[in-house]
Amino acid sequence: MTDSGNFDAAWLPDAAFRAVGARRSLVRGGPDPLKDTVRAELVGVCARFGGEVVRDGDAAELVLDLTGEDSSDEGYTLERRDGVTTVTASGGRGLLYGLFHVVRLGEGAFAGDLASRTHRPALATRMLDHWDNVAVHPVMGQVERGYAGGSLFWADGVARGDLARVRAYGRLLAACGINAVAVNNVNVHATEARLLTDRIGDVAAIAGALRPYGVRTHLSVSFAAPILLGGLPTADPLDPAVRAWWAATTARVYEAVPDFGGYVVKADSEGQPGPFAYGRSHADGANMLAAALEPHGGTVHWRAFVYDHRQDWRDRSTDRARAAYDHFTPLDGEFADNAVLQVKHGPMDFQVREPVSPLIGAMPDTRLAVELQVTQEYTGQQKHACWLGPMWSEVLRFRPDGEVPAGRLADGLVAVPNAGDDRFWTGHPLAQANLYTFGRLAWDPAADPRSVLDEWIALTHPGSPGRLAEGLHAVLDGSWGTYEKYTAPLGVGFMVQPGHHYGPSVDGYEYSPWGTYHFADRDGVGVDRSVATGTGYAGQYAEPWAKLYESPGTCPDELLLFFHHVPYGHVLHSGKTVIQHIYDTHFEGVEEAEEARRVWAGLANLVEPERHARVAERFEEQLRSAREWRDQINSYFLRKSGVPDAHGRTIH
Ligand code: GCU
């Protein structure tokens, strides 16, 4: 559906509102700006589908009732009785989320009775961290790791003049439950640093466009801002002048953006400044910003992505996977109440397969946000179809202590999004499903990702026949597994081309300062992270995991090479040797990609032509790339190991 001017309607085409728009609706309560948003939504769709927004006292089939002013309450109660569907909420956001729930139900919201049920997000913060630069960066471009064109927020070095698209973005985000956005890159360059001070007006403009959809604006800031912008000689977090500068600067931010969400900080990470330069801890750093934000109700999201990026491959004792846990667990209990430690879901860096970070669950006295990557940096860069719902769901359901799922230990889920100013928002139209799925899993980490995909399919293609839904499931359900099969095997990761990270290069990073990842030699492959003979990383987990990962005999196949260095002849639980597994999965991965392309071609008459063509073109590239991966990985390991393929296939 492309009925919204010059950009795609994604999961909110007008037709998705058909059932709601055909009814007599009443919006009650307030005053509240989000109630006005709800009302405006209904007026718009009623004009299209023949319904009407009636006045209080008139009969209505849909009633949206705002009963209070509690903006922190995002919940709503939905029921249908005596022919009337009612959404009741005590805050404007809840009312808006309730409306979108009714939209998802479609005609189902207006048939029979619905028992009264209250819905509330499991996680209070559902945030996107845009890695957008205001100015185009010479190496990274405008959006760091962006595969969907330029920034939605910034153009020509300033906030976009026409913010209609930003508003539309806020609407899409609200419809999947996202309530916060950081509008600039975590790597804060010179122009972007100034968003905090003399360029705060730009941020206020964006905040104004997102606010009607309940999305709060956050900012990535440089830890060195007092030096860069304030002219101070230091950024020491315990220096009174530095603290006073942050307090005064933050107060001015709130004058410009009264509902500002807070700061995101990447400190002492990949060259960004941080408290280590002053001999201070990361709790000292985070707490200084927390203190500046506290009087205004703001939060600091402090990233735990701290590791040594100047390693030597000959040094086998330094293990990047250990770093976050080693740095942060000694600080448990020291962070302020409005400081949240933001932890990447895996210990490395958004690879196609990683174990869940052992830091998740290891700091019970520290607020936690889990960070995911929706932008497909290491998962095909939105040229490959790779639906990440099942991966994220695995992470969120993982029970770090054997009992409580990770999704319940966090109070925030954060992602690096995949949207840009591309006509289809996400470059690959099917990558829209990733953004939608992220939002819905942040609302309910226990949700079944397949049902979320069903929702996305039904909203995006309303009224389409079951054959389309079947086809989309066939193409997307297993796409993460397919991608894993033709790329780096068994959890080893990082066999990508350095810099841009697209396409295979088995040794691309192996001898670089960023870390060492596979240790392949003529006898075997994998990284020994056991306690007994390796880096000790496996011991960072609580039981039952520490014991399970410690031994190659119990370690799950898919993570074997992450935790162990084994001979090529090592037999997996699957019954195959490691080397045969590598060959087989790489042939299978390409076959699966071929099959997905075939299924997609068969959907041509069910999908609007431009969308179909865009996806079809991306499948060509996916296949080319998958074959390249297969051939490079298989020939590398054939040459290293000297072990032939048991099935005698040609390995290029
Ligand atoms: C990855 C990515 C970088 C990014 C970093 C981060 O390493 O390649 O571009 O800056 O993650 O999360 O900060």
CA 579 to centroid of ligand 1, rounded, Å:
31
Residues 6+ apart with CB under 8 A from 113: 79, 80, 81
What are residue 220's DSSP bridge partners? 264
Helical H segments across 211-265, by residue range: 225-228, 240-256
- In 250-283, which positions are buried (b, 16+ CB within 10 angstroms) versus exposed (e)? beebbeebeebbbbbbbbbbeebbbbeebebbbb
What mean pLDDT is predicted for residues 151-162?
94
What are residue 114's DSSP bridge partners? 80
Burial classification of residue 605, based on how many CB atoms lie within 10 Å of its CB (0-12 exposed, 13-18 middle, 19 or more buried): exposed
DSSP 3-state of 132: strand
Inter-residue contact 186 to 171 (CB < 8 Å):
no
Q: Note the pLDDT of residue 212.
A: 98
CA triple 69-72-76, angle to 5 deg: 75
**Does the Cβ of 509 fall within 6 Å of ligand 1?**
no
What mean pLDDT is predicted for residues 456-474?
95
Termini Cα distance of the chain: 42
- Supply φ then ψ for residue 449, to 5 degrees: -60, -30
DSSP 3-state of 174: helix
Assigned token pair, 169: 């973005």
pLDDT level of residue 439 (50, 70, 90 thresholds): very high
Atom of ligand 1 nearest to the CA of 145: 9
The 10s digit of each residue's pLDDT in 201-216 is: 999 999 999 999 999 9
What mean pLDDT is predicted for residues 464-490?
97
Hey, which of 349, 357, 371, 514 would you mutate to test ligand 1's pocket, going by the most ligand atoms within 8 Å of its Cβ? 349
- Mean pLDDT, the chain, whole residue set: 96
Burial classification of residue 468, based on how many CB atoms lie within 10 Å of its CB (0-12 exposed, 13-18 middle, 19 or more buried): middle
**Does the Cβ of 184 fall within 6 Å of ligand 1?**
no
Letter for the amino acid at 641? S
Is 134 a residue whose pLDDT tops 50? yes
Q: What is the C-alpha radius of gyration for the chain, rounded to an integer number of angstroms?
A: 25
What mean pLDDT is predicted for residues 314-328?
92
Assigned token pair, 596: 């997905």
Q: Note the pLDDT of residue 3.
A: 43
For 489: left if phi > 0, alpha if psi spans -120 to 50, otherwise beta; the answer is: beta
Assigned token pair, 466: 């079951």
CA 373 to centroid of ligand 1, rounded, Å:
10
**Does the Cβ of 186 fall within 6 Å of ligand 1?**
yes
Distance CA 330, CA 163 (A): 44
CB atoms under 10 Å from CB of 193, counted, come to 19
pLDDT level of residue 1 (50, 70, 90 thresholds): very low
Residues 6+ apart with CB under 8 A from 595: none
**Does the Cβ of 187 fall within 6 Å of ligand 1?**
yes
What mean pLDDT is predicted for residues 459-480?
96
**Does the Cβ of 354 fall within 6 Å of ligand 1?**
no
Is 291 a residue whose pLDDT tops 50? yes
State the greatest distance between any 2 C-alpha atoms of the chain, in Å, as a whole number.
82
Atom of ligand 1 nearest to the CA of 187: 10
Share of the chain above pLDDT 70, in %: 99
Inter-residue contact 611 to 8 (CB < 8 Å):
yes
Which single residue is written with the structure tokens 């927390």?
A: 290
**Does the Cβ of 342 fall within 6 Å of ligand 1?**
no
- The residue contributing the CA closest to ligand 1 atom 13 is 186
What mean pLDDT is predicted for residues 613-622?
98
Letter for the amino acid at 541? Y
The 10s digit of each residue's pLDDT in 34-64 is: 999 999 999 999 999 999 999 999 999 999 9
Inter-residue contact 77 to 87 (CB < 8 Å):
yes
Distance CA 619, CA 625 (A): 10
Inter-residue contact 415 to 602 (CB < 8 Å):
no
pLDDT level of residue 5 (50, 70, 90 thresholds): low
Hey, which of 305, 342, 345, 496 would you mutate to test ligand 1's pocket, going by the most ligand atoms within 8 Å of its Cβ? 305
**Does the Cβ of 320 fall within 6 Å of ligand 1?**
no
CA 307 to centroid of ligand 1, rounded, Å:
12
Hey, which of 145, 147, 351, 357 would you mutate to test ligand 1's pocket, going by the most ligand atoms within 8 Å of its Cβ? 145
| DSSP-assigned letters across all residues of 585-611 | HHHHHHHHHHHHHHHHHTTGGGS-HHH
CA 266 to centroid of ligand 1, rounded, Å:
10
What mean pLDDT is predicted for residues 503-515?
90
The 10s digit of each residue's pLDDT in 630-652 is: 999 999 999 999 999 999 999 98
Letter for the amino acid at 204? A
Please report the domains of the chain, with CATH numbers, ordered by start residue. Answer: 14-119 (3.30.379.10), 125-134+151-183+206-308+318-447 (3.20.20.80), 484-527+565-641 (3.90.1330.10)
**Does the Cβ of 144 fall within 6 Å of ligand 1?**
yes
CA 348 to centroid of ligand 1, rounded, Å:
11
**Does the Cβ of 371 fall within 6 Å of ligand 1?**
no
Would you please indicate which residues are annotated as catalytic (active-site) residues?
270, 349, 377
Q: What stretch of H or E contains 617?
A: helix 609-641
The Cα-based distances of 309 to 83, 323, 543 in angstroms read 62, 11, 30
The 10s digit of each residue's pLDDT in 88-112 is: 999 999 999 999 999 999 999 999 9
CA 374 to centroid of ligand 1, rounded, Å:
13
What mean pLDDT is predicted for residues 318-337?
97
CA 395 to centroid of ligand 1, rounded, Å:
20
CB atoms under 10 Å from CB of 598, counted, come to 12
CA 270 to centroid of ligand 1, rounded, Å:
8
Q: Note the pLDDT of residue 402.
A: 95
Is 422 a residue whose pLDDT tops 50? yes
What is the CA 358 to chain-centroid distance, rounded?
19
Q: Note the pLDDT of residue 156.
A: 87
Inter-residue contact 423 to 8 (CB < 8 Å):
yes
DSSP 3-state of 183: coil
Distance CA 214, CA 208 (A): 10
Inter-residue contact 225 to 196 (CB < 8 Å):
yes
Atom of ligand 1 nearest to the CA of 377: 8
| DSSP-assigned letters across all residues of 529-552 | --TTTS-SGGGGSPTTHHHHHHST
Q: What stretch of H or E contains 440?
A: helix 432-443
- The residue contributing the CA closest to ligand 1 atom 1 is 349
- The residue contributing the CA closest to ligand 1 atom 12 is 305
The strand pair at 125-129 and 84-89 is best described as: unpaired
What mean pLDDT is predicted for residues 548-552?
98
CA 326 to centroid of ligand 1, rounded, Å:
20
Is 144 a residue whose pLDDT tops 60? yes
The Cα-based distances of 489 to 233, 271, 529, 599, 621 in angstroms read 49, 30, 17, 26, 21
Inter-residue contact 220 to 192 (CB < 8 Å):
yes
Distance CA 611, CA 618 (A): 11
Distance CA 188, CA 221 (A): 6
- The residue contributing the CA closest to ligand 1 atom 2 is 145
Which single residue is written with the structure tokens 């889920």?
A: 413
Q: Is the peptide bond before 465 cis (omega within 30 degrees of 0)?
A: no
CA 131 to centroid of ligand 1, rounded, Å:
9
Distance CA 539, CA 400 (A): 13
**Does the Cβ of 353 fall within 6 Å of ligand 1?**
no
Q: Note the pLDDT of residue 69.
A: 85
**Does the Cβ of 145 fall within 6 Å of ligand 1?**
yes
Is 4 a residue whose pLDDT tops 60? no
CA triple 565-509-631, angle to 5 deg: 80
Atom of ligand 1 nearest to the CA of 186: 13
**Does the Cβ of 266 fall within 6 Å of ligand 1?**
yes
- Range from 70-74, 322-326, 469-473 carrying the lowest mean pLDDT: 70-74
What mean pLDDT is predicted for residues 128-135?
96
Is 2 a residue whose pLDDT tops 90? no
The 10s digit of each residue's pLDDT in 157-181 is: 999 999 999 999 999 999 999 999 9
- Supply φ then ψ for residue 19, to 5 degrees: -65, -45
Which single residue is written with the structure tokens 């960070």?
A: 371
Hey, which of 143, 185, 270 would you mutate to test ligand 1's pocket, going by the most ligand atoms within 8 Å of its Cβ? 270
Distance CA 53, CA 23 (A): 8
CA 414 to centroid of ligand 1, rounded, Å:
14
